[in-house]
């Protein structure tokens, strides 16, 4: 009962923020909770507001792996670059870490794209910063090198090419203080 209610809350939050269907497909069911914690004590909580300066450094991401024998990939993207009304540079790639063991020990993982904290331009409104956790089809995948440019990243092709299965999502909202 608690898991069903929790999944409904996750789905409602994702729909309210237009993450379903913009980023996450209709019918998605979370199979894990994704906890994202910044060193300064800010926790990501399905759409809460976090100032860019409070998310400048890479957070700690934890989740309970549904398959202890699998490895996982975490993406962080901003689909609102430069703004939600004009997403010409979207999605912006903020972080890609792969081959994460089921223990969620990032020190044993492969960082394909280093963490870039939020940097929404002035007067562009709210930005959604989304953490997506995927189960990999096998361990120790040799991922292709990512482009140097983080904007206009085709994460959907990355997910499809590597046969990744979405298992969890969390997100926060941020905006430039000059709005």
Q: What's residue 32's pLDDT?
A: 94
Q: Is the backbone peptide bond immediately before 82 cis, with ω within 30 degrees of 0? A: yes
Residue 97 · residue 110 · CB < 8 Å: yes
pLDDT in tens, 1-34: 444 567 789 999 999 999 999 999 999 999 999 9
Cα distance between residue 158 and residue 4, in whole Å:
30
pTM, entire model: 0.95
Domain residue ranges in the chain: 29-174
CATH of domain 29-174: 3.90.280.10
């Amino acid at each position: 009962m608690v898991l069903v209610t929790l999944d409904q809350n996750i789905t409602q939050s994702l729909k309210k923020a237009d993450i379903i269907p913009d980023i996450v497909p209709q019918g998605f069911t979370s199979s894990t909770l994704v906890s994202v914690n910044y060193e300064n004590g800010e926790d990501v909580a399905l759409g809460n507001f976090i100032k860019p300066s409070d998310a400048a450094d890479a957070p700690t991401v934890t989740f309970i792996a549904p398959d202890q024998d699998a490895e996982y990939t975490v993406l962080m993207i901003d689909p609102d670059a430069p703004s939600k009304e004009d997403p010409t540079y979207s999605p912006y790639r903020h972080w890609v870490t792969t081959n994460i063991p089921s223990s969620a020990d990032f020190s044993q993982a492969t960082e394909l794209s280093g963490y870039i904290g939020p940097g929404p331009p002035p007067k562009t409104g709210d930005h959604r910063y989304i953490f997506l956790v995927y189960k990999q089809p096998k361990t120790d995948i040799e991922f292709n090198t990512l482009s140097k440019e983080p904007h206009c990243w085709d994460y959907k092709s990355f997910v499809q090419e590597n046969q990744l299965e979405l298992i969890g999502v969390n997100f926060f909202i941020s905006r430039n203080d000059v709005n």
